[in-house]
Amino acid sequence: MSVDTATVKRVAKLARIAIRDEEASRLAPELGNILGWIEQLGEVDTSSVQPMTAVIPNRLRLRDDVVTDGNIRAQVLANAPQAEHGFFTVPKVIE
């Protein structure tokens, strides 16, 4: 599968990664190679194989409905670039 630079730019934009035109041109064939390799895996017939979710038999653990966390506002806000009155603040995003 070939990846063009427009696709690279679009995926980068969706992931909020800033890339320059020359980077997009360089990444396009690299990503194309990776997808080609994945496509090669697709040649194996796996129609009768259940997707493996873990290498050891393991079940999803569930938690009891008990409040055990929270009230750590200072910690939660510690890394915020800007906070006021207990809120994170961000550049105004209004629809």
Partner 1 sequence: MESTYRIKGATGDWEVVIGLEVHAQVTSNAKLFSGAATAFGAEPNSQVSLVDAAMPGMLPVPNRECIRQAVRTGLAIDAQINKWSRFDRKNYFYADLPQGYQISQLYHPLVGEGAIEIEDGDAVKTIGVERIHVEQDAGKLMHDQHPTRSYVDLNRSGVALMEIVSRPDMRSPAEAGAYLTKLRSILRYVGSCDGNMDQGSMRADVNVSVRKPGDELGTRTETKNVNSVRFVMAAIDHEAKRQVAVLEDGGAIQQETRLFNPDTGTTRSMRSKEDAHDYRYFPDPDLLPLELDDAFIEECRASLPELPDAKRKRYEALGISAYAANVLTAEVESARWFDALLDTGAAPVAAANWVTSELFGALNRLGTSIVDSPVEPGQAAELLALVADGTLSGSLAKQVFEAMLETGDAPGKIVEERGLKQTSDTGAIEAVIADVLTKNPKQLEQYRGGKETLFGFFVGQTMKAMAGKANPQVVNDLLKKALAS
Query: Nearer to partner 1 by C-beta: 15 or 22?
Result: 15
| Interface with partner 1, residue 18, by CB under 8 A | no
Stretch that binds partner 1, among 1-9, 23-31, 38-46, 81-89 (CB under 8 A): 81-89
Structure tokens at 66: 């008990």
| Interface with partner 1, residue 67, by CB under 8 A | yes
| Interface with partner 1, residue 20, by CB under 8 A | no
Closest CA relative to residue 78, chosen from 70, 92, 88: 88
- Please say whether the beta carbons of 2 and 8 come within 8 A: no
| Interface with partner 1, residue 93, by CB under 8 A | yes
Cβ within 8 Å of residue 88, ≥6 positions away? 77, 80, 82
| Interface with partner 1, residue 84, by CB under 8 A | yes
